[in-house]
Amino acid sequence: MQKLDEGTAYGIAAGEPDPDLVEVEAGTPTGELLRRYWHPFALSADAGSIPKQVRILGEDLILFRTGLGEPGLVQPRCCHRGTTLYYGKVEQDGIRCCYHGWLFGPEGECLDMPVEPERGQDLNDGRQQRYRQPWYPVREYHGLLFAYLGPPERKPAFPVYDIFDSVPEGHEIVADANNIGLEGDPTPCNWFQTHENVMDPFHVFVLHAGFSGNQFVTEMAGLPKVEWHFTDQGVKSFQDRMLDDGSWFHRVTECVMPNVRIVASPFVEIYGPSTSVAWTLPISRTETKIFTLLVRPSDAPRIRAMYDGKTWPELTDEEHQQFPGDYEAQVGQGATTWHNHENLAASDRGVSMLRHVFRQQIAEVCDGADPVGVTLQSSGGPAETRYEVQAGNFLDPDLPSPFNP
């Protein structure tokens, strides 16, 4: 009797994403968790006298900056008759609707209603106070604009990072919106399947060093010994490689709830703590953008991964097949990956741990609690909280074991 074929694709279950790992919309458990944090969504330079369309967590919004220099972030539909403020005129105090001229400040307050009766007789007669354009709070930090899209009573303190406290002479803090580490603008896939890649250090050895040729420096080419650890606000990995001189190259990478990725440069220009912090912004369920703040020498050129001597945009379609990188591997999973078709193994422990932390915090918010890393301003808390970065590239010739917790 002829042996039957095994493991064919016939009858396989339909692919489905895990809602907890792909949802971003308001009202969904994951969307509500994400809305408990501040998110970068644009460069400071993007806010100007011309209204700009932006999308954050699946919401379409209008960004502008008043003549007084205040950034504003409002819903597009004018609260009067519904036309879009994309065609509005930015003035000294706010943005004026093109349809009937209602003027809204950066916090949505109605400042002028030019064609209403008795205009100007008493600007405090209460009419303007009855109308408000829906808006969101905005905070500027080192050239990036952050928004808070959650419930006002749960507004958190704004997180700042210790590596930006002082900048060495001859260096500067640069705000970057170019998807460092992942090409495409925006990247056409769900944010989480790109974010969890940070807790997958083995892909560096295969994808970036072996399959596509070493795209970084020789120190990054070896197979690392890896450990993962839970932190107070997420997960970190230790990656250790023995160098030719017998010293240990110790690398630490962090994921901080909900979407912060702190990865030291794979080009290892210097050893020490990471000089950058990045955020994986969910633009929508199927669009992602990475914003980065980094400390670097003034006027230094951007170093990019090489694929057989070319940068990613320079490759032909055939060369993208020959030298795939993060974009091909992550976007290649589909707009939203099928989690029910995965077969996780021991090397995926960091990914599993990150998913566990994320689901745990979804449950906390669903139960009415605040997620990790959040200090409420409404309860008398500070306006800012400070995070001490652990990630970095470290060199220790005397390290007695492959791990340095």
Taking only the tens place, the pLDDT of each residue in 13-44 is: 999 999 999 999 999 999 999 999 999 999 99
Higher-pLDDT residue of 166 and 69 is: 69
Any idea which architecture 152-396 has in CATH?
A: Alpha-Beta Complex (3.90)
What's the rounded mean pLDDT across residues 275-291? 97
Nearest to 291 by CA among 127, 119, 129, 144: 144
Measured CA angle at 270 (ends 173, 184), to 5 deg:
55
What's the rounded mean pLDDT across residues 235-256? 91
In which residue ranges of the chain is CATH 3.90.380 found?
152-396
pLDDT digit string, tens, across residues 145-171: 999 999 999 999 999 999 999 888 899
How far apart are the C-alpha atoms of 173 and 265, rounded to whole Å?
15
- For the beta carbon of residue 5, count every other beta carbon within 10 angstroms: 7
Which of the residue ranges 168-177, 199-208, 317-326 has the most confident prediction, judged by mean pLDDT? 168-177
| List of residues 6+ apart from 28 with CB closer than 8 A | 19
Of 78-92, 323-337, 345-359, 375-389, the poorest mean pLDDT is in 375-389
Structure tokens at 365: 């918010």
In which residue ranges of the chain is CATH 2.102.10.10 found?
38-139
Inform me whether the pLDDT recorded for 119 exceeds 50. yes
Structure tokens at 358: 């994320």
Confidence of residue 256 (pLDDT cuts 50, 70, 90): very high
Any idea which architecture 38-139 has in CATH?
A: 3-layer Sandwich (2.102)
User: What sign does the dihedral 174-177-178-179 (CA atoms) show?
Assistant: positive
Confidence of residue 379 (pLDDT cuts 50, 70, 90): low
How far apart are the C-alpha atoms of 264 and 217, rounded to whole Å?
13
This prediction has a pTM of 0.92
How many residues are given for the chain?
405
Cβ–Cβ under 8 Å, residues 40 and 84: no
What's the rounded mean pLDDT across residues 216-242? 90
| List of residues 6+ apart from 224 with CB closer than 8 A | 201, 202, 204, 205, 239, 240, 241, 251
What's the rounded mean pLDDT across residues 336-360? 97
**Mean model confidence pLDDT for the chain:** 90
Inform me whether the pLDDT recorded for 206 exceeds 50. yes
Q: What pLDDT shows up at residue 266?
A: 82
Structure tokens at 194: 């790109």
